[in-house]
Structure 1
């Protein structure tokens, strides 16, 4: 039943008609639990609240289903305004984004121009931009773009790799020469068994494997998980191998396991929260429901409150 619900929500996440309608609804049906708001000031307020608790952030202006050059350029402009707002407010946050949001599916050169515009601003503020990994169809081109931008912008750009893909362990080896700052995740898209582990237990094992490999290579790891068993494993592993806390951080999603987030920050670990905002919240929200069907009960309660 849980797998069925997951597949339903992943299917719904790609429905452009519902996404368009959601922009008119605003943050409804419990979405405000997982999305910080619609505007940049909303996002900055959320980051301020986190910073006061000793937690840092990464802001993501949600954008999906980009179909025109104008939309892609507008998304890039919004990312630039976000970086400027972070600097102006003096909050502790970097930026996350998706390449399709910047026009990758329209024209790779358009996407690259937008990325360079954004990274020029990030570099001027001595900030950092994380390129999110999307579905498998975009995996190779995303890695290729990251390599090119890493050569140009160095420490100001990072990448995400997904544990559920068979190829990820090899990708970590291939990327080592770039000394990459990687966010390591399990993966939230539905992929065929030809390219991804179909069983959760295998994904979990590979997640631990790639975390350990990346850390032992001496590279920076952003371990993105709400799984306490994984967190405890990383704590023990880094202590055993004398890996300094400056070489890794934990990351969690806005609105999920907030008590654990605060606990890790109090223990002296870098705890970063992924803070999404914007009116293009629908696809992101559906994927959160797919990851944790238990959240559906929360949504149902919210519907009756509205």
Structure 2
């Protein structure tokens, strides 16, 4: 049943008609519930509310698989402006972005030019930029880009996905960079040739990656709503005397708010992923596909208050 639900929501995420309807009519409905707003300016009040509750934030301008150089450049300038506003407004926020939004599928030199501009601004303002991981065809290119920029910049991190067979080796290969890593289960539909098809195997690999990353001394973000993963991490850091300054929990905006607050109260750092923009529909459907429990979390968030 879980596999059927996953496939259903992934199918919906690629429905262009529903996406267009959501862009035209759904932005205001989703704002402040599952996304911050339709732009960064309208999201800032929600970010401040989270900060005032002891929660850190990472923001992401939704939209990927850009096939126009003009749009990729626009996304770049928007990201630069966001970083500058975060610094100016003194928000406790980082920035996440996808390489396809900066032109990865268009031209190698284009994405490097755009990423250089963003990271120059990030370094100047001491704002961390996380390169989100995408689907398997873009995985190696994303890791290669991260490696190259990590040689020059400090305000850069990336994401590894536990459902891929290759990720354990990727984590080992990145060890020499002592990277800031966000570990996730993974949200794309992949072949059993490259990804664990069974949830229990993904969970076990996720735990293995968390342990490996933390014991290697990496600053590690555990991005999960799964209580078992959260409890596993708590026990692991206690067993190995890993300080709370070496890791954080990350969760989605509008989901598991009580759990986020409880973790903060217990002394853990929690960062909330706050997406914004008109392209929220595909993002929302993929979150539903990741884990059936997200459906109830999301609807509670949508209809709260």
Query: TM-score w.r.t. structure 1 length?
Result: 0.93
Q: Which residue of 2 aligns with 1:268?
A: 267
Stretch deviating more after TM superposition (143-152 or 79-88): 79-88
Helix, strand or coil at the partner of 1:33: coil
Aligned residue pairs total 303
Q: Which residue of 2 aligns with 1:190?
A: 189
Q: Which residue of 2 aligns with 1:229?
A: 228
Helix, strand or coil at the partner of 2:57: strand
RMSD value, Cα: 2.1
Q: Which residue of 2 aligns with 1:72?
A: 72
Pairwise CA distance, 1:42? 2.0
Q: Give the Cα–Cα distance (whole angstroms) in 1 for the partners of residues 183 and 298 of structure 2.
A: 28
Cα distance change, pair 151–301 in 1 and its aligned pair in 2 (3 A): closer
| Correspondence 1:79-94 to 2 at 5 A | 79-94=79-94
Q: Which residue of 2 aligns with 1:24?
A: 24
Pairwise CA distance, 1:36? 1.3
Pairwise CA distance, 1:294? 5.4
Q: Give the Cα–Cα distance (whole angstroms) in 1 for the partners of residues 190 and 83 of structure 2.
A: 33
Contact preservation (8 Å) 1:30, 1:299: no
Q: Give the Cα–Cα distance (whole angstroms) in 2 for the partners of residues 246 and 302 of structure 1.
A: 29
Q: Which residue of 1 aligns with 2:130?
A: 130
Stretch deviating more after TM superposition (52-61 or 287-296): 287-296
Cα distance change, pair 278–152 in 1 and its aligned pair in 2 (3 A): same
Cα distance change, pair 20–267 in 1 and its aligned pair in 2 (3 A): same
Pairwise CA distance, 1:85? 1.1
Q: Give the Cα–Cα distance (whole angstroms) in 1 for the partners of residues 225 and 82 of structure 2.
A: 26
Cα distance change, pair 234–2 in 1 and its aligned pair in 2 (3 A): closer
Query: TM-score w.r.t. structure 2 length?
Result: 0.94
Consecutive unaligned residues in structure 1, runs of 5 or more = none
Per-residue CA deviation, residues 197-236 of structure 1 (Å, 9 max, x unaligned), is 0000000000000000011111110011111121111111
Contact preservation (8 Å) 2:31, 2:38: no
Contact preservation (8 Å) 2:32, 2:46: no
Pairwise CA distance, 1:300? 8.5
Q: Which residue of 2 aligns with 1:13?
A: 13
Q: Which residue of 2 aligns with 1:220?
A: 219
Helix, strand or coil at the partner of 2:174: helix
